[in-house]
Amino acid sequence: MLGPDGEPQIDCQLLADKAEGFDSSIRQLKSMRDGLRHAAVCSAPSHMECPKFRRLLGLAAAGVIGAYEEKKPLRKRKSK
C-alpha cells in the first residue's frame, strides 16, 4: 500500500471491485437467509406444495438464480 517514497498508493478500482464482490455475496446470503426463514415457518405440507419454493425452483432451473459466479483471481499490484 505504500510506494517507495512512503506515500500511499491505493488502487481505487481494486477497492471498488472488492466492494462489488461483497455486495454480491451479501445479496446471496440474504436470499439464503430469507429462504431458510420461510422454510422454517412454511405451512405447506411439503416443499413441492409451497408456491414460493416452486417459484424458486423454476428460477433455479432456468438458471436465473443459484449459480455461483466463478471467482476472479486477485490482480497483483504493480511494483513501482
Give just the sign of the alpha carbon dihedral 18, 20, 26, 32.
negative
pLDDT at 75: 56
Mean pLDDT is highest, among 1-5, 15-19, 71-75, for 15-19
**CA–CA gap between residue 10 and residue 17 (Å, rounded):** 13
Domain ranges of the chain: 1-80
CB atoms closer than 10 angstroms to residue 56: 18
For 39, the grid coordinates are 422454510
Query: What is the tens place of the pLDDT at every residue in 31-70?
Result: 888 888 998 999 999 989 999 888 888 888 887 776 554 4
8 pairs with which residues across the strands? 2
Whether this model's pTM surpasses 0.85: no
Cite the DSSP H helix spans in 1-80. Answer: 12-41, 51-61
CA proximity to 57, closest of 39, 41, 70: 39
